[in-house]
Amino acid sequence: MSYGYDDDSKRKKSMVIISISSVLLISMVVAVTVGVTLNKSDSNGNSEDTEITPSVKAVKDVCAPTDYKKTCEDTLIKNGKNTTDPVELVKTAFRITMNQITDAAKKSQTMRELQKDPRTRMALDQCKELMDYALGELSNSFEELGKFEFHLLDEALINLRIWLSAAISHEETCLEGFQGTQGNAGETMKKALKTAIELTHNGLAIISEMSNYVGQMQMPGLNSRRLLADEVPSWVDQRGRRLLQAAAPYSDAKADIVVAQDGSGQYTTINDAMKNVPKKKNTTFVVHIKAGIYKEYVQVNRSMTHLVFIGDGPDKTIISGNKNFKDGITTYRTATVAIVGDHFIAKNIGFENTAGAIKHQAVAVRVQSDEAIFFNCRFDGYQDTLYTHSHRQFFRDCTISGTIDFVFGDAAAVFQNCTLLVRKPLPNQACPITAHGRQDPREPTGYVFQGCTIAGEPDYLAVKQTSKAYLGRPWKEYSRTIIMNSFIPDFVQPQGWQPWLGDFGLKTLFYSEVQNIGPGAALASRVTWAGIKTLSNEEILKFAPAEFIQSDAWVPGKGVPYIPGLLDGNPTVATTSPSQAVASGFSSFTDTNGAESVSPTVSPAVSPSVSPAASPAGSPAASPKGLVDVDSNESYSMA
């Protein structure tokens, strides 16, 4: 067998490259999320009796790996003008789809203006916002694909799968907004989105098939862009490099904007400062938010990329709100802080939602930013505290408190050296900690908790016998959560995991526990659902941060402690110290950046109570099902 690059081998290689690039382009068409409707086939036509033309065959080949083949084929055949050129097919379908998205957005706006129900108006407005996000992602991705390089193909495929998963989340979040609304607007939008949802899942299927194929090729150079641990991404400017290269909890670098309630900065509110944040610039922009409780709602828009928030400490700089589902607001819109712009970083800040127990879902932070980083932050709330909506996220040395599903969403998120703090719920309500929302088994999303500590506030510990805690439950059918090298206390039930409703998702979820410690870590009495996984050493590596969220390319050099792989030796659990001082009983936690963090020398049964002063007591819950042997007077699920 010849291994030389003769003319024949060069031609074959060129065909492979052309084929891959063409399918990548096609994948973007089927990823469009809004507005495509299919005309019914002519009643006299029968595709099975019709001779297959070259153009139809090309479409069928593209649609082969999809779940909704008819939707895929009918869409491309109808609009393809009999072309066999994949690029021309994509361009034609792309133009038509863009027009349909615009029409759908206009229709949504018209429906909103005719609605008298405030919740329905909000839901329609939410759908329009999510359509705009999907359209923006489509345009950016299409542009990037036009200039991709072969040696970056693997990276491009990963990014596309993340984007398609985000598109799926956008669609589902649109429909979830109609929970509790009046009239038939929700059903109308569901019908309008049916084809778009199928097309998006088809796109993910095509990209996943390509990823599998590229993986099998084992061609050299595909991953040559992977960064070394000490490298800084190219988009970080020289000033940003100086700011971020020092891996320390606090930075004394001069900020671009200072917010201070006492008037010592340029602005006294965060929102006033946000008006002066540059738009669509690939340069680091730092906002120093001095100590204080900022009672305002903050949104980092999509155009605000590479933005850094630095506070004076998670117990000193606090952004506080109280929007909630009970008061007529969709869960998506209850967030005190919403982060959409990519490459966002937050350090030393507290985020809270103080809505209270009777207010149901109330989000402290919603994160849609890709490659977002949170270091030494607190997220305090009750039900639905931290909404990890979509894309890739990294949390280090953070504390998240709550009662019900207080870490939820469909992101690919890694929590390293974090504390999950269970709070007292309403009487006789269970406390599932996580609720991941993966809807398609091809999505590269999920939760990984690495070196974390589960703990309880004193008020919760007093009622732990009647308000039982669980590691999580499946919000969506393919929910995925891995807990490794972490401390699990005795109040986590021996079963470990809680069903959502009946047997929903129990066969399709993906839950695993790896080398955890603590009185609640024993696996002997865990549930034995088909979706509970025992991972091999090779499989565990797939969930290390560098592999799972490609964090080597965007976390190093950001002034954040970071371990790209698995923890060595015995599992070391950690809890967050809100300052640079190492807490009593804690030892140094070494990482690849040489920064200091903290880790308990002896695993604590509980962590200190560090609730914000204004935090309410209690929380509603989704009704405990199956394994929960307590009663609940009310039943709520996430909207």
Residues belonging to the active site: 405
Asked if residues 477 and 445 have their Cβ atoms less than 8 Å apart, the reply is no
Q: Which residues pair with 352 in a beta bridge?
A: 320, 380
Euclidean distance between the first and final Cα of the chain, in Å? 60
Q: What is the rounded CA–CA span in Å between residue 70 and residue 194? A: 13
Distance (Å, rounded) from C-alpha 363 to C-alpha 380? 9
**3-state SS string for 328-379:** CCCHHHHCCEEECCCCCEEECCEEEECCCHHHCCCCCEEECCCCEEEECCEE
458 CB neighbour count, 10 Å cutoff? 11
Contact 544, 485 (CB under 8 A): no
Q: 511 is written with which tokens?
A: 């839950």
User: In whole angstroms, what is the distance from residue 1 CA to residue 19 CA?
Assistant: 25
User: Which structure tokens are listed for 442?
Assistant: 């091809």
Q: How far, in Å, CA of 548 to CA of 330, rounded? A: 31
Please give the structure tokens belonging to residue 603: 């695993």
Question: Residue 517 carries which DSSP code?
Answer: B
d(CA 442, CA 157): 13
∠ CA 9-13-19, rounded to 5°: 145
Q: Which segments of 183-316 does DSSP mark as H helices, in order? A: 185-217, 238-244, 270-274
Run of H or E residues at 484: strand 480-484
Q: Which amino acid belongs to residue 235?
A: W
CA atoms of 444 and 159, how far apart (whole Å): 10
C-alpha 204/C-alpha 199 separation (Å) is 9
Residue 72 · residue 30 · CB < 8 Å: yes
For residue 146, give Cα distances in angstroms to 18, 20, 22, 140, 212.
Answer: 12, 13, 10, 10, 22
Following DSSP, what letter does each residue of 402-459 receive, concatenated? ESSS-EEES-EEEEES-EEEE---STT--EEEEEE---STT---EEEEES-EEEE-HH
- Phi, psi of 177, deg, nearest 5: -65, -15
The whole-angstrom separation of Cα 499 and Cα 236 is 44
CB 468 within 8 A of CB 434: no
> What number of CA atoms fall less than 13 Å from residue 514's CA on the CB side?
26
Question: What is the distance, to the nearest Å, from the Cα of residue 612 to the centroid of all Cα atoms in its chain?
Answer: 26
**Contact residues for 203 (Cβ-Cβ < 8 A; gap 6+):** 27, 28, 29, 30, 31, 164, 167
